[in-house]
Chain A
Amino acid sequence: MAKMKFLCDSERCIECNGCVTACKNANETEWGIQRRRVVTIDDGEPNETSISVACMHCTDAPCMAVCPTDCFYQTDDGIVLHDKDLCIGCGYCLFACPFGAPQFPKQGAFGERGKMDKCTFCAGGPEEDPAKQKAKYGANRIAEGKLPLCAEMCSTKALLAGDAQTVSDIFRERVVYRGHKDGAWSSLDSEKAVPGEMSQQQMAALADELAVDAGNIIAKA
């Protein structure tokens, strides 16, 4: 079974926020809920690097492990979804999430944050009635055979989404073209990345590793 993954190629990401508003467009999340965001490290400085982040649909998902209500589940495609009927808005998933993916509509007193909302990989959520599903969880593009709108609309094709293998193939191809390994927001063994000092084969092998799983980052973090 395919495993769905995101990969953001920082060499390409220009912080245009296309992915961010595409997500709004697809899911119509309310003002203040940003399922996806773009973070720029060293903003305005020579090493400026941007990365688009949302839920990474971790293989061994920390959010899932800490949720008191156990409302998360992972589809066969590896997409991490949750049940808003069950969610009590405790915020634990946000504490645990390495990527700050879970969002809460409002932060009231008494720890009332409302139902958690996060990127669904545009796969909707556990609600059979399509209208209700759309209203509660946003689009279910996966069911229509489409991929996440954020990635589909990415202005520079920096953000890739889909089957981990295909995503990594595409990225590997870029790495080979570039002649150096560069950053991608996915699992990545930074120690091995010595640009210009690797053979094409080494790069290809490394690129393969890059595009696989956010779990590695988590493990390292």
Chain B
Amino acid sequence: ADQATEKVQGNFAGADYWRSVSDGTEGYTTSQGAEHGQLINVDGERWRHWRNKWISPGGLIAIGGSLGLLVLVYLTLGCMKLDKPRTGRLVLRWGLFDRAMHWFVAITFLTLAFSGLNILYGKHFIPEYFGYDIWKNLIALSKFLHNYIGPVFSVGLLVMIVRWFGHNFFNMTDLKWFIQGGGLIGNKHPSAGFLNGGEKGWFWALTILGLVVVGSGLVLDFPLFGQTRNDMQTANLIHGGVSLLLVAVSLGHIYIGTIGSEGALEGMKTGYVDETWAKQHHDLWYEEVKDQIKEPAGEEKSATEKGNTGRA
């Protein structure tokens, strides 16, 4: 017995030791590096797993799926043309400020999306197809843009939410709109107010997911408030996951705004939409504003244009 106890004496690092360090226990260190007291960062592996095994492929699936779906929709339905010919009479839909804001948000969003996607997926194909030098610059640019545009976008998004949330409350009309699948089910266009159910959906998706993306993005962007490595990992997972989802959803919006539906883009470009378009897509709203319709001659209605669309 004496011999056995003698053998165990001394400070060998036994089972307990390994158990304790591999659950992330902190020790003492003279190193000033952040979290240098921790021998094993247990969460790193969890993070890598989630990011590389779920978020990364998940994002591809979501975005790819979204794109695929849109292609399918386009192939089966084609562009949603106006049912009737344009009357040439224009209705003011988006004021200058609204348009500016929209494009500001859209452009920053897209910048973030492209740079974000590059950060996540770029390495898998860009260096191979475009070479090291291009990759080197592109990824550095992506990181730079993403880091700096992020906060800019955040401000834009907040302003947008505040400004637009008023006309995005759901009502019975929207329910019906949804029941009719936005017009896909049945033959007739579902009724809609200034914004239809789909648009409102997009708005709220953007608001909720966007805020999450912004919040997590800011945590990642400003690692100055004592965020631990662990916090950063969590923020990254949330950020990655949610932003990819948002990108996937945004594709739908962009699809409709561009090739999906004739006439919609005009509204965001010029502020005015054609009477026909308004009737077809937003009949209830049309009823409200038809008396303000601008004649094709196009004389200025500057008061309305500059100000509010009157719907807030």
Point out residues on A near B: beta carbons under 8 Å: 10-11, 17, 20, 32, 34, 37-44, 46-49, 51, 53, 62, 65-70, 85-86, 88-92, 94-100, 103, 107, 109-113, 178-184, 188, 190-191, 193-196, 217-218, 220-221
Contact = CB atoms under 8 A, between A and B. Distances in A.
Nearest to B24: A221
Contacts of B21: 41, 51
B40 A98 contact: yes
B8 A40 contact: no
Given A107-B224, A217-B40, A43 B28 contact: yes
Contacts of B38: 39, 100
A195 B15 CA distance: 10
A49 B32 contact: no
Contacts of B118: 68
Given A11-B11, A181-B12, A221-B41, 9 more contacts: A34-B32, A37-B36, A47-B17, A88-B139, A90-B143, A98-B40, A178-B12, A188-B18, A193-B12
A85 B18 CA distance: 37
Given A17-B30, A41-B20, A68 B120 contact: yes
Of listed A34, A47, A188, A221, residue having the most chain B CB within 10 A: A221
B7 interface: yes
Given A88-B140, A88-B143, A190-B17, A48 B51 contact: no
Contacts of A10: 11-13, 17
B17 A41 contact: yes
B293 interface: no
A182 B13 contact: yes
A116 to B, nearest CB: 12
Contacts of B34: 107
Contacts of B41: 97-100, 221
B186 interface: no
B236 interface: yes
B301 interface: no
A190 B14 contact: yes
A37 B38 CA distance: 11
Contact of B28 (A40, A53, A111, A218): A40
B139 A193 contact: no
Nearest to B128: A70
B233 interface: yes
B239 to A, nearest CB: 12
Contacts of B222: 109-111
B39 A39 contact: yes
Given A70-B127, A85-B136, A109-B224, A221 B22 contact: yes
A32 B32 contact: yes
A2 to B, nearest CB: 26
Nearest to A31: B32
Contacts of A40: 27-29
Given A34-B36, A95-B236, A100-B38, A193 B15 contact: yes
Nearest to B13: A183
Please report whether the interface of chain B is mostly helix, strand, loop or mixed according to DSSP.
Answer: helix
Contacts, number: 186
Interface of B: 4, 7-8, 10-22, 25, 27-42, 44-45, 47-48, 51-52, 118-120, 122-123, 127, 135-136, 139-140, 142-143, 147-148, 220-224, 229, 232-233, 236
B136 A111 contact: no
30 contacts: A32-B33, A34-B33, A34-B36, A38-B30, A41-B17, A41-B21, A51-B39, A53-B39, A62-B45, A62-B48, A66-B48, A66-B51, A68-B118, A68-B122, A89-B143, A95-B44, A95-B47, A96-B45, A96-B47, A98-B45, A111-B220, A111-B222, A112-B147, A181-B12, A183-B14, A184-B13, A190-B19, A193-B18, A196-B7, A196-B8
Closest CB pairs A-B (n = 7): A183-B13, A182-B12, A190-B18, A37-B31, A43-B28, A196-B7, A70-B123
Contacts of B224: 107, 109
A128 to B, nearest CB: 15
Nearest to B44: A96
Given A88-B143, A111-B223, A183 B29 contact: no
B233 A95 contact: yes
Contacts of B45: 62, 96, 98, 218, 221
B11 A48 contact: yes
B139 A68 contact: yes
B48 to A, nearest CB: 5
Contacts of B17: 10, 41, 47, 49, 183, 190
A195 B18 CA distance: 14
A171 to B, nearest CB: 13
User: Which of B10, B45, B52, B122: most chain A CB closer than 10 A?
Assistant: B45
* Best-surrounded residue of B14, B29, B34, B119 (most CB of chain A within 10 A): B29
